[in-house]
Structure 1
């Protein structure tokens, strides 16, 4: 197989160009264009609050002018530690307007994680939620922060929800007092005082850094992927080309994926702004709220992660809700089980396809075709202008078609490198090719199959076992809602297979029954030797099961 052949292009439908023209503009241009073309269309719906594109742009201008007044300079890192909310969108685009480099931070981070990210990025400005202010205060002496801007969920809630929110916080004892003054500012006051004068973006070229997006840190401390304006503009344009039936100014996107994760940031926020779609924002995954929002506000697009779809299809009252507005869903961050895909499509009448990407690629590189040929169990085809190849992990030589190896990608959405880590960059980026760390294969049609993470491969008795293959089988069992498979130490085999299982409500199954079920579908050496039943599995902010955590917890010698 040669990475230059691009056999996948033969299967592009005529609606998707094989190569695209990308505008040399800052990412902020998409917001200006949307506000000019659709000023009175809702840009955001948030728990009853509506902001039109015109409203949104004016608030972005206000906050950008406030940041300039506070002294934020081009290239300065601006941390944003917020859930999905109008403030998260406003802070993001305002920071980019003034030439800042956004650093997205998960509000659920521990102080240790927060300290590392703030110190490593050398962020001087942080916009955070009032509920996490104390964590910030506890670590700021070890960081470079010059100013902290604090907001509350209630700042963009309509009356009387804003009043009721404050009352609830008071009643729950979670009402926090912020010591405003000095270098601690109220987001709402800055917006009120600032002028909505148009801001000319501080921008030199597409190579300008727009984002330091930190990886999950599964192999040590999290690293900041340096993503440029061009990287982000390109991935938006690729998404627009791929989701070609989406009509500009006519769609609405369910914003469940967190914007502090690169997937939600690109495929929900930036993409929605690019096509002037309404974002229906959800601050955290709440099944009841999400089903009500879909039923009432009729989103047409729902990017998500498999665990989100699993949670919804297993809701005990799913039949009460009308989900028929959903036309297309792109699933990422983890493998999409076929059973989940089929059941969600049956419930909605829409299409749910699997894609693939990485923090280092802004993030999307592959997806199944939405309105054309889908190959379940694959991550689909590479996106326009994205080249891919499968190489031997040891030698780096390309392998033959159909053989397993490490997936490498190259394209205009690939990062510049890791922030302040040239040696780490050199390990994964060579001649424009990014080594993904994923074991994959490509078939004769150019569809790619992710078999597993290189580091997740279980080696038992000399055999390579790929957890995803075992998990797919476990998902087929009618009693299993979620499954995760890891390798645990074994005195004879080196490692053995352990499965963590979450059962569907009102379902029961024994280890013996699962063993028999797996033996019918898997070679004996792949069958789990150990099972552990749990109420839930540890997950990342986008619902990816954290195998690393399970592996650590199961680290004792198995017998």
Structure 2
């Protein structure tokens, strides 16, 4: 087999063609319980739960679900924030082969209705803070929902519909033995819904085999610089998101580590948890890295003891990486992945990182760049096109969306919708999303490139650009800018700064100053919200012009 460009840059210990365990995840967890039953599995709000205690709790919930009528293949929506019951619920579902539906607990009724209905979820495990929406759905006798399990409990109320039960009551008399249910590695384990930034949100069918491949790949890529035998991970990203789910819950099933859960994710709580528990792994997001660099106590904090600080979910400006590393001496490892790849399929090796790159493909992952039109022509090194991945982490289908599956998943290859290129050493560079690319007078403008320049300005706190209609260019670049507190900046100054680093057609022609930028629930810049804001503004202008011309004509 021909050696791939990137293979020579793996860190020591990485196996080029690793074989994966063929033991179901629940059996792997049971093995960890038997190996070290008293090892802390979960740290959460001063509570310590051992592997033995967690397994007993998961068995009780699993058997309670079976007694309530939940069967293998049924969908169970976990609509919870980061709390210990989230992890217990995941383990319970894995034991009985129920398909986990990861759901954002902050969703409103419309969003929950869609996700429950699309997945066919009959059971919901939720917090008492969002029980009302789920009770409403149950009262409306929606055919997909049969029971709502509320943490910690529901108040006794004769008006509650049948099917509402408190978590403690639900598991109270449930047995602690292991359910005897066979799990096949090709069975779907989790439905991870895409963000739905374009079109309809789709459920990515992540199998048990996919999960094992992700955990194995994660271990392979971080073992050189991380003490994986004493894996202790800080969970500061939502576990209902694929990034948080995989790096905390799933990786621990294989590694037998400990999870530090933050029910309320704030920068103060992150620092406190790092000082108290001293994690050696922290999967972060750019917004958290940015916030930490503003803390004067960062250089003397225990953040510098972290061995593996990974960052994903959104681009991280090179200037921010350098600033953080100068303050902590902790290297930031950028990676790349998506719901369709069950999380990461690429990351930077520690020995040879390339800032601005998302790294090299994981072992057993193949990669190519194809043309942007039909996606049928493989492009050579250095040429810009759509990034495609193939391997054991890649899902086979979207849940009940065959047309969407056919578009994104072709012959085992996942067409990412991301634009980028591979350099002469096999490192991957992501430039933008296909849908975010701006075409000005026939020239391609990548939003991330302009973002990076804007964010490097000493007076700019954060910035982002989108394309807006233009009568001459077709599209033009508009920047949305948040100025740092105590600083001043004009539109002309922003444009002048950009002209020093960008070709004329890439320079924003319009600049709007804002107090804050909209972000998604995983802290990505929400360009969809910015475009919608701009569309509403243009519509209001058109409406005003129409009304003015009508009144003028009437005169």
- Which residue of the other structure, out of 334, 340, 360, is the alignment partner of 2:320? 340
Shift of 1:180: 6.3
2:410 counterpart of 1:430: yes
Q: Corresponding residue for 2:365?
A: 386
Distance 2:340 2:372 in 1: 19
Distance 1:143 1:10 in 2: 55
Shift of 1:319: 5.8
2:397 counterpart of 1:417: yes
2:196 counterpart of 1:217: yes
Q: Corresponding residue for 2:499?
A: 519
Q: Corresponding residue for 1:123?
A: 121
2:356 counterpart of 1:377: yes
Shift of 1:239: 0.3
Shift of 1:47: 1.2
Q: Corresponding residue for 1:39?
A: 37
List alignment gaps of at least 5 residues for structure 1: 156-174
Distance 1:65 1:523 in 2: 63
Shift of 1:247: 2.9
List alignment gaps of at least 5 residues for structure 2: 542-555
Matches within 5 A, 1:234-253: 234-244=213-223, 245-253=225-233
If asked which structure has higher relative contact order (CA below 8 Å, sep 6+), I would say 1
- Which residue of the other structure, out of 336, 344, 360, is the alignment partner of 2:340? 360
Distance 2:508 2:33 in 1: 55
Distance 1:539 1:38 in 2: 41
Q: Corresponding residue for 2:473?
A: 493
Q: Corresponding residue for 1:160?
A: none
The C-alpha deviation readout for 1:5-61, integer Å capped at 9, x for no partner, is 621112113311111111112222332222222221211111111111111111111
Shift of 1:115: 0.5
The 1:65–1:36 alpha-carbon spacing in structure 2 relative to 1, beyond 3 Å, is same
The 1:557–1:119 alpha-carbon spacing in structure 2 relative to 1, beyond 3 Å, is same
Q: Corresponding residue for 2:112?
A: 114
2:87 counterpart of 1:89: yes
The 1:30–1:550 alpha-carbon spacing in structure 2 relative to 1, beyond 3 Å, is farther
The C-alpha deviation readout for 1:78-130, integer Å capped at 9, x for no partner, is 10000011100011110121110000100011111110000010111110111
2:193 counterpart of 1:195: no
Q: Corresponding residue for 2:526?
A: 546
Shift of 1:462: 1.6
The C-alpha deviation readout for 1:250-303, integer Å capped at 9, x for no partner, is 131110111111111101221133212221111243111111111222111110
Distance 2:253 2:446 in 1: 39
- Which residue of the other structure, out of 254, 257, 279, is the alignment partner of 1:299? 279
Shift of 1:530: 1.7
- Which residue of the other structure, out of 468, 473, 494, is the alignment partner of 2:448? 468
Any idea what SS the aligned residue of 2:352 has? coil
Distance 1:493 1:532 in 2: 20
The 1:474–1:30 alpha-carbon spacing in structure 2 relative to 1, beyond 3 Å, is farther
Q: CA RMSD in A?
A: 2.1
Asked if 2 retains the 8 angstrom alpha-carbon contact of 1:61 and 1:198, the reply is: yes
2:247 counterpart of 1:290: no
The C-alpha deviation readout for 1:294-329, integer Å capped at 9, x for no partner, is 122211111011112112222466467442221211
Asked if 2 retains the 8 angstrom alpha-carbon contact of 1:403 and 1:441, the reply is: yes
Asked if 2 retains the 8 angstrom alpha-carbon contact of 1:409 and 1:435, the reply is: yes
Distance 2:200 2:155 in 1: 31
Asked if 1 retains the 8 angstrom alpha-carbon contact of 2:267 and 2:292, the reply is: yes
The C-alpha deviation readout for 1:410-462, integer Å capped at 9, x for no partner, is 00111120111111111111111111101110001000101100110001122
2:477 counterpart of 1:477: no
Name which of structure 1's ranges 306-315 and 502-511 shifts more when overlaid on structure 2.
502-511
Shift of 1:234: 0.6
Any idea what SS the aligned residue of 1:324 has? helix
Distance 1:228 1:341 in 2: 34
Shift of 1:383: 0.4
Shift of 1:534: 2.3
Distance 1:425 1:303 in 2: 29
Name which of structure 1's ranges 185-194 and 262-271 shifts more when overlaid on structure 2.
185-194
Shift of 1:408: 0.8
Q: Corresponding residue for 1:62?
A: 60
Q: Corresponding residue for 2:545?
A: none
Asked if 2 retains the 8 angstrom alpha-carbon contact of 1:405 and 1:441, the reply is: yes
Q: Corresponding residue for 1:164?
A: none
Name which of structure 1's ranges 488-497 and 71-80 shifts more when overlaid on structure 2.
488-497
Distance 1:322 1:48 in 2: 19
Distance 1:292 1:99 in 2: 37
Distance 2:143 2:274 in 1: 41
TM-score (norm 1): 0.91
Distance 1:529 1:96 in 2: 53
Q: Corresponding residue for 1:134?
A: 132
2:244 counterpart of 1:264: yes
The 1:177–1:320 alpha-carbon spacing in structure 2 relative to 1, beyond 3 Å, is farther
Asked if 2 retains the 8 angstrom alpha-carbon contact of 1:292 and 1:321, the reply is: no
Distance 1:294 1:177 in 2: 40
Distance 2:120 2:280 in 1: 39
